[in-house]
């Protein structure tokens, strides 16, 4: 799935992306580290892998991998 980097904190290596429909989705350091990235700037196109966790309150999406989108 593709998205656009929205926020990134280099201190915590976490941030958020905007899906193509405008939905924000947070990512943690684990997803950032799994992709092998060193830096991320808002506006960059990224590829994400998402898992869906089923909870009592409904489904929750979690980014497990974040890489730069290349053509």
**In terms of Cα–Cα distance, which of 36, 31, 39 is closest to 65?**
31
The residue ranges of every structural domain in the chain are: 2-68
Mean pLDDT of 42-51: 96
How many angstroms separate the CA atoms of 54 and 36, rounded?
A: 28
Band of residue 51 on the pLDDT scale cut at 50, 70, 90: very high
Centre a 10 Å sphere on the Cβ of residue 67 and count the other Cβ atoms it contains.
15
Average pLDDT, integer, range 19-44: 95
Given the DSSP bridges, would you call strands 24-27 and 14-19 parallel, antiparallel or unpaired? antiparallel
Percent of the chain with pLDDT over 90: 82
CATH 2.20.25 correct for 2-68: no
């Amino acid at each position: 799935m593709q998205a656009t980097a929205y926020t990134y904190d280099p201190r915590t290596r976490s941030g958020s992306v905007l899906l193509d429909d405008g939905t924000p989705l947070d990512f943690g350091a684990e997803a950032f580290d799994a992709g092998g990235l060193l830096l991320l700037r808002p506006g960059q196109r990224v590829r994400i892998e998402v898992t869906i966790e089923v909870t009592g309150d409904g489904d929750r999406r979690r980014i497990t991998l974040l890489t730069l989108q290349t053509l």
